[in-house]
Amino acid sequence: MSGDAALPPVPQGNYRPATRFGDFVFTSGMTPRVNGELQFTGTVRAAEPVESWKEAVVLACRNALTAALGMLQPNEHVAGVPSLTVFIVAEAGFIRHSRLADFASDFLRAELGECGIGSRAAVGVATLPGNAPVEIQLTLAAAR
């Protein structure tokens, strides 16, 4: 990834940040945390510019990608991101879920190129752990 090497996400419960089955790596849901500390909280409001939440989305996505890349063997590379799910705590009336999810897709494209773009779901939810505004889960395909 570009920039400084990211530290692996710190689990907030009884789970692994990522698991691998064959050539597929599945991440747990990642929130916008640094060293286990939530950096953003709250509900995405309909009247707010979506850009207000870009940093939270990118941080959560960075955590998911870091967890997934940690499962690759030294001789492997990312073949693709077949699935990306972006969960958003949004108030009633918020309808720009896809625009927030675009921040995650843009980040993956910047980090991985076109193979970072795959299928995606943007899902509005009532709450997330720790009052996080966003949580990201992705599936990564590895290749030799």
Mean pLDDT of 41-48: 97
pLDDT at 25: 98
- How many Å is the maximal CA-CA distance in the chain? 47
pLDDT at 124: 98
- Ramachandran category for residue 3: left, alpha or beta (phi over 0 → left; psi -120 to 50 → alpha): left
Taking the domains of the chain in order of start, what are their residue ranges?
24-143
Helices 97-112, 54-69: inter-axial angle, 10-degree rounding: 40
pLDDT at 6: 61
- Residue 8 is encoded by which pair of tokens? 């692996």
Q: How do 77-89 and 119-125 pair as beta strands?
A: parallel
Tell me which residue has tokens 């060293």: 35
pLDDT at 3: 42
Mean pLDDT of 9-35: 94
Assign domain 24-143 one CATH number from 3.30.200.20, 3.30.1330.40, 3.40.50.2300, 3.40.50.300: 3.30.1330.40
Q: Tens digits of per-residue pLDDT, 26-44? A: 999 999 999 899 999 999 9
List helix spans (H) across 93-139. 97-112
